[in-house]
Structure 1
Amino acid sequence: MKPERFDIHQHITNQIIAAIESGAGEFRLPWHRSAGNIMRPVNIASKSRYRGVNILTLWTAADAGGYMSGAWGTYKQWAEAGA
């Protein structure tokens, strides 16, 4: 029997549903947010902005992790950037 493959589409769907169900909370102007970044996520190496569902996925990951930056990259990209 093969182990089940990770279903990225279901994972993203679950993240979006969880964010919706948690509610909007107290309204705060974007520059007063304590965590996350409302700007479009950007790749640390290429400086390219992410597109499509990747934006939602990275926004929900940033919100869940309390990340303050919208910069994303692979381990190798961060290592090359000196992180």
Structure 2
Amino acid sequence: MNETNEQEFIDIAILDNIVEAQLVESILNEQNIPHFIRSFHDTAYDGLFQVQMGWGKLCAPFSYKQEIIEILNDVRSHHHDI
């Protein structure tokens, strides 16, 4: 078992929308950064929680937090330029 498998995953960031989630996930996968993304969408409430809480959350080991925040900030700054 390697070190990343032993690390606890923590909440890193709230994601704004599905496009942001897909872009960030693609980059994290390319860089082999362990993570998971959880959508707040619930079909029973037709997305009510996404309005209140954001689209979803990104979780990863604490040791990757700063790197992920930098990636997310870069995605957000380039996304607003489009």
TM-score of the superposition, structure 1-length normalised?
0.24
Higher RCO (C-alpha 8 Å, min separation 6): 2
When Rg is computed on C-alpha atoms for both structures, the one with the higher figure is 1
Which has the larger helix fraction?
A: 2
TM-score (normalizing by structure 2): 0.24
